[in-house]
Structure 1
Amino acid sequence: MKLSATLTLAAAGSLAAAQGGHRRVHRHQHKRDVATTVVDEVVTVYQLDGTPVPIADVCKGIKDGDYKWAAGQGPSDACESKTSATVKPHEFLETPTSTAVPTTSTTSTSTAVPTTSSTPPPPPTTTSTSTTSTSTSTSTTTTSTSTSSPAPSPTATSTSSSSGGTGVTASFPDGELSCDTFPSDYGAIALDYFNIGGWSGIQYPTLNTLGTLVESIVTAVSGQSCTEGAMCSYQCPPGYLKSQWPSTQGATGQSVGGVTCKGGKLHRTNTDHETLCVAGVEGVTVENQLGQVVSVCRTDYPGTESETLPLELASGASEQLANPDQSSYFYWEGKPTTAQYYINPAGYQADQACTWGTSAKPIGNFAPMNMGVGYSDGVTYLSIFPNAPTTDAKLKYNVKFEGDVSPSCYYDASSATYYKDGVPNTSEGCTVGVPEGGSAKVIFH
């Protein structure tokens, strides 16, 4: 059952609201010992000119007089909690012969989600939309062991600096670099087009009084920087994943990631890794056989959860995909996670496609297709599926898996249909498995 109600918030002045990341991350879980219950989840959306606004910013704006409820009265409990609402990353992992089982938190905490409407012209307005949707909660019991070694040497180069950096394999000098120094000498790749100092995303978290949970998060916008207390996330070379995230995560499922600025210096947040980037499990590449550039954008997770980590493929190019080993990569609330990618239409470079956008163009968080990648129990799983319900846009080119994959999985652009073992499976897409030591290509053609 879905119910909706709309409340409008008008800006008394101008607002530079932080954009929230796309919170829709998919994992696939082995279908073992699954207990399923159905719950209702209340979702609250706050918007400013069609842009999601964190509840913390909304409440501060009302308190400071920058906003007012256009309808005269907002939700009575909207600002009772200091918790910044975000959508929890619900991820699944399925075997090639099973159906994905969605998992979702049963928390009653309201969550803010991105809108699918295009940005209207000024004056700015903020809306609060509440919906109730039926979702599925599952309890899964699995054990996972890994015998695969991460990919040893995806291509990565970096220039040495006076602090000793020699590239992606260099140990990060904890507490030595100034917070206004982007650590490109240690494998991180600057994304200057975001205008936040080269970082892929910056979060300004607020901890609870015990310092054990993140209560609220404000995300940086263009022109802001990695300042005291900030979590500063970054891009790694193809085939590599960010290694830094703190053990202290969001109170309501938000994630934070990256290095942190403390005492004016950059510090690691995950002492298990001395380098900023770790190699993913090898064997998965993506190849562009089209005549135009194609950008594949990975979700910055843990972190802003926006699709800001780019993999730009020129015509004829092939690159390695970052494939996390679920037994050793980031765990969300005790559950292993995988990587999610957004597959964009041809012709868009990364600085256009791998950014937070609107429904005006089928790119970024409105890209037509998602792809999930992860390694578990000796098998790499690859999935392609429509980016629903965010968009109903369709890719105009074909996508197929080749190599040591089972079953067959293919997207036919002429009919906008996904095929699993030759059988149409458009609503769910399809998933393949790649055995230990095997390889697979994701081909755009």
Structure 2
Amino acid sequence: MNFSTLTLLSIFLTTAELTTASADPKSPTKLFQKSPYHRELFKGDSHQHHAHQRRDGSCSFPSDAGIVKLPSNNGWAMDNKCEDGKWCQYACPPGQLMAQWNPEVTTYSYPGSQDGGVYCNEGELELKVKDHDGYCYDGTGTAKVNNKASSNVAFCQTVLPGNEAMLIPTNIDGGSTETLAVPGTDYWAKTAAHYYVNPPGVSAEEGCVWGSTSNPYGNWSPYVAGFNQDDSGSTFGKIGWNPIYFEDSSPFKDKNPSFGLRLKCEDEGSCNGDECEINPKKVGLNKCSAQNLKSDGAAWCSITATGNSKVIVEVFDV
């Protein structure tokens, strides 16, 4: 394992806490280790999972805040209604990050990890993070998707702080490129951005939701990806197989996806790491080229782009 891989793994384990949901919503797992916070999330009365007592009333989704209105739950990126005493999460446009959360929560720990978004107070939405102006702000801009597949592909970012469901959409048309939201160390608890990668041809409306074994979409997507940047300007990128794709209950575990991923640096002279590619037609199921590291039984690989240079994710048909 080279230096860049060790650095990436260290950051993902200590600050990024990249997660992947399991088949059973009562036992989600981290990509690298089990999470007691996630297991507790789905136990007992849902009222106890919020830092503030629920009161009557609700807050409406803002129409002029520059945020993305999702097709379900009145536009919010959360399971429940945006009601008084709750933190209400939302989706930002591609390349941008949620700028609001509970400023009193500074570490990745339950239940504070749920307190993302704006605070609903007697029908009024309150923006608590004063360092950011508004609802969203630009990420580092150092990760892009180059979709070489014949159809669109939906990258679905998990909501953190929040319930960590894959609800935040970035759709990339075939033959197009799009910037992904990459957090620096100023983002909440210095966490990374985590994405589920749906097969080409699956819309964001279909893929950026909690899925089922009917299709390899959403949390059942074959691949995941993660990105963050440190204070030196190094962007860490990872692509990997989704661990639940190979669970015993998965009907997809013996099926090759129809597409692959390749992770590379825009500037080869600023790149640390070996070849990083997932091509099931060439190397088979649950394997990556060169590195072929594994966590929770799923293979992954990584690279690092230094000096504020960009990481590129190529999507291609196989």
User: What displacement does 1:425 show?
Assistant: 4.6
Structure 1 residues 204-353: aligned runs within 5 Å: 219-220=79-80, 225-248=81-104, 251-252=110-111, 254-325=113-184, 327-331=185-189, 336-353=190-207
SS in structure 1 of the partner of residue 228 of structure 2: strand
SS across alignment from 1:432:
strand
Quick one: which of 29, 32, 35 aligns to 2:10?
29
Contact 2:194–2:227 (CA under 8 A) maintained in structure 1: yes
Which residue number in structure 1 is paired with residue 51 of structure 2? none
Secondary structure, counterpart of 1:361 in structure 2: coil
State the Cα deviation string for residues 287-321 of structure 1 (Å, max 9, x = none).
Answer: 21111121110001111210000111121121101
Report how many residues are paired. Answer: 268
Please give the alpha-carbon distance, in whole angstroms, between the structure 2 residues aligned to 1:443 and 1:31. 22
Q: Deviations over 1:60-85 (max 9, x none)?
A: xxxxxxxxxxxxxxxxxxxxxxxxxx
Contact 2:235–2:310, Cα closer than 8 Å, also in 1? no
Per residue, is there more helix in 1 or in 2?
2
- Counterpart CA distance in 1 for 2:39 and 2:58 is 34
Match of 1:198 among 55, 61, 75: 75
Shift of 1:283: 2.5
Question: Corresponding residue for 1:367?
Answer: 221
Aligned partners of 1:289, 1:110: CA distance in 2, in Å? 38
3-state SS, counterpart of residue 395 of structure 1: coil
Deviation at 1:104, TM superposition (A): 5.6
Check the 8 A contact 2:291/2:301 in 1, yes or no.
Answer: no
1:186 equivalenced with 2:65 (yes/no)? yes
Residue identity opposite 1:401 in structure 2: L
Match of 1:416 in 2: 285
The answer on whether the counterparts of 1:294 and 1:344 sit within 8 Å (CA) in structure 2 is: yes
Counterpart-to-counterpart distance in 2, 1:276 and 1:394: 40
Which residue identity does 2:191 align to in structure 1? T
Q: Using the TM superposition, give the Cα deviation of residue 339 of structure 1 relative to its aligned residue in structure 2, in angstroms.
A: 0.6
Please give the secondary structure, in 2, of the residue aligned with 1:398: strand
In structure 1, the gaps of 5 or more residues are 1-26, 34-44, 54-85, 92-101, 115-177, 202-218
Describe the superposition over 1:4-49 as per-residue Cα deviations: whole angstroms up to 9, x where unpaired. xxxxxxxxxxxxxxxxxxxxxxx8425999xxxxxxxxxxx9xxxx
Structure 2 CA distance for partners of 1:299 and 1:316, relative to 1, 3 Å = same
Q: Deviations over 1:110-150 (max 9, x none)?
A: 63679xxxxxxxxxxxxxxxxxxxxxxxxxxxxxxxxxxxx
Which structure is larger by alpha-carbon Rg, 1 or 2? 1
The one-letter amino acid of 2:239's match is I
Question: Alpha-carbon deviations, 1:197-223, whole Å to 9, x = none?
Answer: 21122xxxxxxxxxxxxxxxxx41xxx
Q: What SS is found at the alignment partner of 2:240?
A: strand
Q: Distance in 1 between matches of 2:138 and 2:39?
A: 36
Q: Quick check: 1:442 aligned with 2:299?
A: no
TM-score (normalised: structure 1) = 0.54
Q: Per-residue deviation at 1:242? A: 0.2
SS of residue matched to 2:166: coil
- Say whether residues 1:401 and 2:260 are aligned partners: no
The residue matched to 2:219 in structure 1 has which SS?
Answer: helix
Alignment-mate amino acid for residue 400 of structure 1: R
How far off its partner does 1:389 sit? Answer: 3.5
- CA spacing shift, 1:292–1:413, aligned 2, 3 Å: same
Distance 1:339 1:32 in 2: 13
Match of 1:68 in 2: none
